[in-house]
Chain A
Amino acid sequence: MSYQFDFSFLYDYWPDLLAGMRLTIGLSVLSILFGFIFGSACAIARVHGGKTLRTIVGCYVDLVRNTPLVVQAFWLFFGMASMGLKIGAFWAAIITLVINVGAYTTEIIRAGLESIPRGQKEAADCLALRRWQVILYIELPQAVERVYPALVSQFILMMLATSIMSQISVEELTGAAYGIQSMTFRGFEVYVVVAVIYLVLSWLTRTMFEVIARIAFTRRRLRTPL
């Protein structure tokens, strides 16, 4: 038990960690953004679509939620390559993450849509709004507001799950850390630093979504003034 902690070597590898961090942030931002849009569309299809559409979305959600992310990533990355589609590891990772977070988002927003009182849709119908207008202006905004905390938790989980993409050679933060570890054999120090970075990123994500909420859900400001 005479392990000497030494963080000084990290100074030389700092650029690698920074590059990894940038990749993690890029993966997270893109997949949260597109996952949210895709998930919202699927939730609307699940609630308002015809029988066929509802079944298809239901199968998609079940399939994604009952298989490991890493398997989905391999399946997409190698599967596409074997079909002759060369899209590169980064975009394979993005697609995997969007499909993955989209499935969870679908279920969360669906719960929100289903919790909206019937009177809201009825009132909107009676004001001669079109079906898509009722969904877009009345149901979806209220649904998202209702399930917002659950959505944010899911998005943070997804930010942390980007670490799995090192498995398909995307050198994000965890991948970069593994590289440094294998060159320096100082795994403990490297992963302590990486854990702290993830912690900070989670905190930043949470804060950012709190700011978005304050802008998007104006009436919230009434209840909880800054």
Chain B
Amino acid sequence: MTALVTFKDVHKSYGTLPVLKGVSLTVPEGRVVALIGRSGSGKSTALRCINGLETIQSGTLEVCGRKLHEANCDLRHLRMEVGIVFQSYNLFPHLTVEQNVTLAPRLTGKASQAEAHEIARKVLEQVGLAEKAKAYPEQLSGGQQQRVAIARSLAMQPRVILFDEVTSALDPELTAEVLKTIEQLAQSGMTMVLVTHEMSFARRVADEIIFMHQGVVWETGDGSMFDNPQTPELRQFVGSGL
């Protein structure tokens, strides 16, 4: 199995604040990897490094065969293969749902107008929002907006999608509909990296769970690691009621 994402001893700091202190991890193709850990442990930073939103200071980071630690890495082509969904949706408010979804495939030359239309129909169906194609983001609930954001990512037909606490801003019932969409994606074989606080969800959906602590990978395992934590830090994290 090929690895789509490979961190090797990655270091990253913001100014003088070290945030990633030697992270090594891999995300194999077709797998779902969940990143968990306390707030401030560097999960978002690690995720944002994967599509080049943040640059690393040392170590190596390879994503879809591109070496992000090299200065001349072509971020635009990388981002055609790596999708990301944010906690705050970041939909384009002046565009309809359909325009939000078709914009990038059209502008990057991935699809013609007609093809983009067809892609939009398909991905909106996939997230259960086909009937909202002509609506504007402000007319949708938070859960629906987040599903549109997922569809917008899918429209680029990425090889891997990154999710950064995409349900943290949502009520429980809306959280459920978004998690269901992500779970269906996982079943369809999409490679995904999930930063999440939903422990039962991570346990159910993720093939591998990575517990980050103080900027390093502290413990790795599958769902059973919650029952049998190997480190006191994970035990405490699991015990803190999450």
Interface residues of A (CB under 8 A from B): 117, 119-120, 122-130, 133, 137-138, 141-142, 145, 217-219, 222
Contacts and interface: CB of A to CB of B under 8 A. Distances in A.
A137 B152 CA distance: 16
B94 A127 contact: no
Contacts of B136: 218-219, 222
Contacts of A222: 136, 138-139
B99 to A, nearest CB: 10
Given A127-B156, A129-B108, A219-B138, A122 B80 contact: no
B79 A126 contact: yes
B92 A123 contact: yes
B92 A138 contact: yes
A164 B80 CA distance: 54
Interface string B79-99: 110011010101111101000
Given A137-B103, A222-B136, A128 B92 contact: no
28 contacts: A117-B90, A119-B90, A122-B86, A123-B86, A123-B91, A126-B51, A126-B79, A126-B83, A126-B84, A127-B104, A127-B108, A127-B152, A127-B156, A128-B77, A128-B108, A129-B103, A129-B104, A129-B108, A130-B107, A137-B107, A138-B92, A142-B92, A217-B94, A218-B136, A219-B136, A219-B138, A222-B136, A222-B138
Contacts, number: 59
A130 B51 CA distance: 15
B53 interface: yes
Contacts of B51: 126
Given A128-B79, A219-B136, A122 B90 contact: yes
A138 B152 CA distance: 15
Contacts of B76: 128, 130
Interface residues of B, number: 25
Interface in B122-168: 136, 138-139, 152, 156
Nearest to A129: B107
B165 to A, nearest CB: 14
Interface string B27-66: 0000000000000000000000001010000000000000
A202 to B, nearest CB: 28
B104 A122 contact: no
A127 B90 CA distance: 12
Interface of B is mostly: loop
Given A128-B104, A142-B93, 12 more contacts: A119-B90, A120-B90, A122-B53, A122-B90, A123-B90, A125-B79, A127-B103, A128-B156, A129-B103, A130-B107, A218-B136, A219-B93
A24 to B, nearest CB: 33
A133 B108 CA distance: 9
Contacts of B53: 122, 125-126
A128 B106 CA distance: 11
A117 B90 CA distance: 9
Contacts of B138: 219, 222
A126 B84 CA distance: 7
Nearest to A121: B90
Contacts of A138: 92
Contacts of B77: 128
A217 B94 CA distance: 7
Contacts of A123: 86, 90-92
A124 B95 CA distance: 13
Contacts of A127: 79, 103-104, 108, 152, 156
A216 to B, nearest CB: 10
A141 B104 contact: no
A117 B93 CA distance: 11
Nearest to A142: B94
A130 B53 CA distance: 15
Contacts of B80: 128
